[in-house]
Amino acid sequence: MTVLLFRDDAYLRDAPGQVASLTDEGGIVLDQTIFYATSGGQPGDSGQLVWSGGTIRIATAIKGEGDTVILLPAEPAPLPPVGSPVMQHIDWDRRHRHMRVHTALHLLSVVIPMPVTGGSIGADKGRLDFDMAEPPEDKDALEETLNRLIACNFAVTQEWITEAELDANPTLVKTLSVRPPRGSGRVRLVRIGQGEDTADLQPCGGTHVANTSEIGRVTLGKIENKGKQNRRVTLLLS
Ligand SMILES: [Zn+2]
């Protein structure tokens, strides 16, 4: 498995690593990585690897077998040999925008407390699909509430529970389309706010800002009808 450095510290822009293996498709697996692998609607990170013999652009990262992360080169180029030490660098501006959008979407699921059936995260905007028959009535009021939550400057932290604890608290799971990351017997929870001032608490394997103040003001785009029980709500960073 690949050690997921971004999970404990989403602010790592650079880190060393060692090439553990190369895939048949020309992907690179490191022993540890700061590259988030595409999942949960959040795109994989781009960036580059540098080693004594060269440099290669990484277009994105995906999940491989056995909890590995596969880095996919942006163009055909010589790969670092297995065993070689590398420095990894992610495109930080893009990733930080993903973190802002991702964290804002958690809060969107707070102001629209309906089951989430899908979602997508980009560098400028993100969206959630909600299982709801009627569109929200007052978009401007939702936008104001969302921005008020963001402006609370909530700390965003992670904690771990066992799978049995999650099963005993099924209401923690709001996002039906993305199953909580499981496997190791424990589940990562992401908490926005603290103690009695917790605004959101749900299982998530993504990358988040450390404080909601980093999100800045957001605007809501038009609310789309994507089926009789599906409303798509888009938010945009300013
Ligand atoms: Zn999340």
- Per-chain mean pLDDT for the chain: 94
Same domain, 80 and 195: no
CATH for 119:
3.30.980.10
Rounded to the nearest angstrom, the distance between the alpha carbon of 80 and the centre of ligand 1 is: 32
pLDDT tens profile 150-166: 999 999 999 999 999 98
Same domain, 109 and 219: yes
Same domain, 192 and 158: yes
Rounded to the nearest angstrom, the distance between the alpha carbon of 203 and the centre of ligand 1 is: 7
Rounded to the nearest angstrom, the distance between the alpha carbon of 177 and the centre of ligand 1 is: 13
pLDDT tens profile 100-153: 999 999 999 999 999 999 999 999 999 999 999 888 889 999 999 999 999 999
Rounded to the nearest angstrom, the distance between the alpha carbon of 103 and the centre of ligand 1 is: 6
Structural domain containing residue 49: 3-90
Same domain, 60 and 103: no
SS (H, E, C) 62-82: EECCCCCEEEEECCCCCCCCC
Among 45, 65, 90, identify where a domain stops: 90
Same domain, 233 and 118: yes
Enumerate the H helices of 21-174 as residue ranges. 92-111, 139-150, 163-168
Same domain, 100 and 210: yes
pLDDT tens profile 173-231: 877 666 666 667 889 999 999 999 999 999 999 999 999 999 999 999 989 998 889 99
Among 46, 65, 90, identify where a domain stops: 90
Same domain, 85 and 116: no
Could you tell me the two tokens for 73? Answer: 């080169």
- Total domains in the fold of the chain: 2
pLDDT tens profile 26-52: 999 999 999 999 998 999 999 999 999
Residue 183: per-residue pLDDT: 64
Same domain, 67 and 181: no
Rounded to the nearest angstrom, the distance between the alpha carbon of 102 and the centre of ligand 1 is: 6
pTM given for the model: 0.94
Q: Using the predicted structure, report yes or no on whether residue 4 has a pLDDT greater than 90.
A: yes
Rounded to the nearest angstrom, the distance between the alpha carbon of 225 and the centre of ligand 1 is: 24
How far apart, in whole angstroms, are the C-alpha atoms of residue 196 and residue 202? Answer: 15
Q: Using the predicted structure, report yes or no on whether residue 2 has a pLDDT greater than 80.
A: yes
Same domain, 126 and 227: yes
Rounded to the nearest angstrom, the distance between the alpha carbon of 191 and the centre of ligand 1 is: 9
Same domain, 42 and 126: no
Rounded to the nearest angstrom, the distance between the alpha carbon of 228 and the centre of ligand 1 is: 27
Burial class (CB in 10 A: 0-12, 13-18, 19+), 75: exposed
Among 50, 67, 90, identify where a domain stops: 90
3-state helix, strand, coil in the chain (%, to 5): 20, 35, 40
CATH for 84:
2.40.30.130
Same domain, 154 and 193: yes
